[in-house]
Amino acid sequence: MFIRNEPFKVFLKHYPVTFLILAVDIAIYLMLLITGTWRIAPFFAYQFFQYTVGSNAAILQGAWWELITPVFLHVTFPHILFNAFSILIFAPALETMLGKWRFLTAFLGTGIASNVADLLLQSSGYSHYGASAAVFGLLGIYLYLIVFRGHLVSRPDRIIIIVMILVGMISSFADPNVDVLGHFSGFLSGFVLAPILFINAPTR
């Protein structure tokens, strides 16, 4: 379920939404790296970041798109590496089980739900970015499958999922800069949305 050894063309054909998410994440990171970190166009990088980061103050003033754009925004290499790798590992199987449109709804839905939770429960000056909440949302969906649709997940894969959930939850508290609320709300939203997503889903 989680081993990726397909040729690129096969991966692109079978998991187009996963590929698109990864491509957008990496493209935005590289753009900010070149324009900002390498100082090719620092003002552009700064303005782009300010326009796409999840700023509660900006959202309250009408920047509704910042409930979506933070899911695709990464600044540091470790951040994009961890999230891109997690998406590469955990997204394809769900895209296969749900179909591309339901999977896209799952990924964006859990990310947006997490951003809404931050808006409602964090201070107006709080800002956040990254795909981590959506990744935790995928893990929440997997937990639902383990609990309620165990026949879709093999025993070895269940162990991998449970270990990753535990490691992810514990590591969320290790870095003071991590959006712990975002991680937990993303995970919970995935678990809650899963029964709806799997109604008549083309699982195989």
DSSP codes of every residue in the chain: -------HHHHHHH-HHHHHHHHHHHHHHHHHIIIIIT-SSHHHHHHHHHHHSEEHHHHHTT-GGGGTGGGG---SHHHHHHHHHHHHHHHHHHHHHH-HHHHHHHHHHHHHHHHHHHHHHS-TT-EE--SHHHHHHHHHHHHHHHHH-GGGS-HHHHHHHHHHHHHHHHHTTT-TTS-HHHHHHHHHHHHHHHHHHTTT----
> Does any domain span residue 175?
yes
pLDDT tens sequence across 74-95: 999 999 999 999 999 999 999 9
What is the predicted pLDDT for the residue at 17?
A: 98
What's the whole-number average pLDDT of the chain?
95
Q: How many domains does the chain have?
A: 1
Average the pLDDT over 56-73 and give the result. Answer: 98
pLDDT at 28: 98
- Given a cut of 70, whether residue 203 has pLDDT beyond it is no
- Considering the candidates 55, 114, 172, 183, report the single residue annotated as catalytic: 183
169 falls within a domain:
yes
Is residue 86 domain-resident? yes
Q: Which of 86, 127, 132, 185 is catalytic?
A: 132
Residue-level pLDDT at 81: 97
Which tens digits make up the pLDDT trace of 46-56?
A: 999 999 999 99
Query: Is a pLDDT exceeding 90 seen at residue 25?
Result: yes
Domain residue limits at 26: 8-197
Reported confidence tier of residue 3, pLDDT bands at 50, 70, 90: confident
pTM of the model: 0.94
Q: Is 183 marked active-site?
A: yes
Query: Within a domain: residue 76?
Result: yes
Is residue 72 in a domain? yes
* In-domain check, residue 2: no
Does a structural domain hold residue 202? no
Q: Which CATH number does the domain housing residue 49 bear?
A: 1.20.1540.10
Give 131-187 pLDDT, tens digit per residue: 999 999 999 999 999 999 999 999 999 999 999 999 999 999 888 889 999 999 999
Q: Is 172 inside any structural domain?
A: yes
